[in-house]
């Protein structure tokens, strides 16, 4: 299968993330998971320096929360439908961290979650280090029902370094990889409705570092500040 690079961000200009690609989402409402952070657009929480995107969480009071962090999305700017996504990242360590590289359906505002669909390229919860989660969520299959397609890969010391997290997505399946090594493949099979398989529609990419919440759990305040670092994001379309 051949792929053509359609856009990328190498984070080679210091300062704010490229506004033609990224939205900086703000808020402290828990984001459906009872998360403990307030996402800000402050320069200390989200910035590019020396070829790296820095997403940094702090222990500090801000609005209604006691922690700050950042969240980027490509919603309405860079929409993805099938193809391949590669993200080179170093995920943070520490109890209470919950970094994620993931996607939501572009129709999120119209139909809401989980009808829009969610693709989790990788999630890591600091209370369970070196366990990397890959999942899909849809209206009929999601974590509230505890029936979502999911897979956990464990390897010691992985969290200490940069790794490339990637996915390949087509009409038949979604496959996940770490450093080109296959992790899991979720197949569409007989799922025909959008409630079962919403992944034939366009999605947008999200990079965020959540703190605490129902899954992130207890927070170790001694770890802060703590960072998720991104070297590049590359998006490819399939060329048949």
Domain extent, residue 183, equals 2-220+230-239
Whether residue 195 lies inside any domain: the answer is yes
Whether residue 126 lies inside any domain: the answer is yes
Catalytic residue chosen out of the listed positions 8, 25, 35, 118: 118
Catalytic residue chosen out of the listed positions 123, 155, 164, 187: 123
Whether residue 36 lies inside any domain: the answer is yes
Q: How far apart are CA 222 and CA 16, in angstroms?
A: 27
Q: DSSP H helical segments within the chain, as ranges?
A: 108-111, 213-216
What is the CATH number for 181? Answer: 2.60.120.200
pLDDT at 176: 98
pLDDT at 67: 98
pLDDT at 239: 83
pLDDT at 76: 96
pLDDT at 238: 87
Whether residue 159 lies inside any domain: the answer is yes
Whether residue 149 lies inside any domain: the answer is yes
Q: Is the omega angle on the peptide bond into residue 120 within 30 degrees of 0, that is, cis?
A: no
- Known catalytic membership, residue 93: no
Whether residue 55 lies inside any domain: the answer is yes
- Known catalytic membership, residue 196: no
Whether residue 216 lies inside any domain: the answer is yes
The DSSP code sequence of 96-152 is: TEEEEEEEEETTHHHH-TTTT-EEEEEE--TTSTTEEEEEEE-SSSSTTTT---EEE
Task: Give me the number of domains the chain comprises.
Answer: 1
Cα distance between the two ends of the chain: 7
Could you list the pLDDT tens digit for every one of the 240 residues in the chain? 789 999 999 999 999 999 999 999 999 999 999 999 999 999 999 999 999 999 999 999 999 999 999 999 999 999 999 999 999 999 999 999 999 999 999 999 999 999 999 999 999 999 999 999 999 999 999 999 999 999 999 999 999 999 999 999 999 999 999 999 999 999 999 999 999 999 999 999 999 999 999 999 999 999 999 999 999 999 999 887
Whether residue 225 lies inside any domain: the answer is no
**pTM check: above 0.95:** yes
């Amino acid at each position: 299968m051949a792929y053509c690079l359609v856009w990328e961000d190498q984070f080679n200009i210091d300062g704010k993330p490229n506004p033609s690609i990224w939205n900086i989402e703000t808020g402290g409402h828990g984001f459906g998971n009872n998360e403990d952070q307030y996402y800000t657009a402050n320069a200390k929480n989200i910035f590019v320096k020396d070829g790296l995107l820095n997403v940094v969480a702090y222990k500090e009071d801000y609005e209604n929360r006691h922690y700050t962090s950042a969240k980027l999305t490509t919603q309405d700017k860079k929409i993805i439908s099938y193809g391949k996504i590669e993200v080179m990242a170093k995920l943070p360590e520490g109890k209470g961290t919950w970094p994620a590289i993931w996607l939501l359906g572009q129709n999120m505002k119209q139909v809401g979650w989980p009808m829009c669909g969610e693709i989790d390229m990788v999630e890591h919860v600091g209370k369970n280090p070196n366990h990397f989660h890959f999942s899909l969520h849809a209206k009929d299959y999601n974590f509230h029902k505890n029936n979502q397609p999911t897979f956990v890969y464990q390897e010691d010391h992985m969290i200490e370094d940069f790794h490339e997290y990637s996915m390949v997505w087509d009409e038949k399946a979604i496959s996940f990889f770490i450093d080109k090594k296959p992790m899991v493949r979720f197949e569409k099979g007989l799922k025909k409705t959008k409630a079962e398989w919403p992944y034939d529609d366009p999605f947008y990419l999200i990079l965020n570092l959540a703190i605490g919440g129902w899954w992130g759990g207890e927070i170790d305040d001694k770890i802060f500040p703590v960072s998720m670092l991104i070297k590049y994001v590359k998006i490819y379309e399939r060329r048949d």
